[in-house]
Amino acid sequence: MRHEIRIIFGDTDQMGVVYYANYLRFFESARAAYWRSLGKSYKDLEEAQVAMPVIEAHCNYKRPSYYEDLLEVDVRVGELRQASLRFDYTIYRGTDVIAEGYTRHAVIGPSGKPRPLPQFMRDLVAARPS
């Protein structure tokens, strides 16, 4: 699934390039868009008593991006386990790869302990073409 992001001035640093930590925000925006594309949202996860905190994040920066760039974030579930999942991301500007990375998420319940991802969410992820 692809999600578009237009770079605003506030995303850039003093050198005029996108500040490195903002790529994690772009990952988060793409994750939310991913769930919405499946007809669900993080609110649906909350209603199912599921939280998915990030437990690991990685970003490999390939090229800089700048104010007003239109980026596309390709997001997909790269790994689905019983009580965790990993989202994989590739950020493009046109055909240029700007960054690649992933976030790994624990699946936890209201007590903060691991729990399985609900079957309805697992089915949605499994039905989505890669």
Which residue of the set 13, 44, 74, 123 is catalytic? 13
CA torsion 30-31-32-35 (nearest 10°) is: 120
User: Which residues, listed in sequence order, are joined to residue 71 by a DSSP beta bridge?
Assistant: 5
Whether residue 13 lies in the annotated active site: yes
Q: What are phi and psi of 24, to 5 degrees?
A: -65, -35
Q: Nearest to residue 104, comparing CAs of 84, 126, 82?
A: 84
Pick from 104, 80, 76: nearest CA to 90: 76
Active site residues: 13
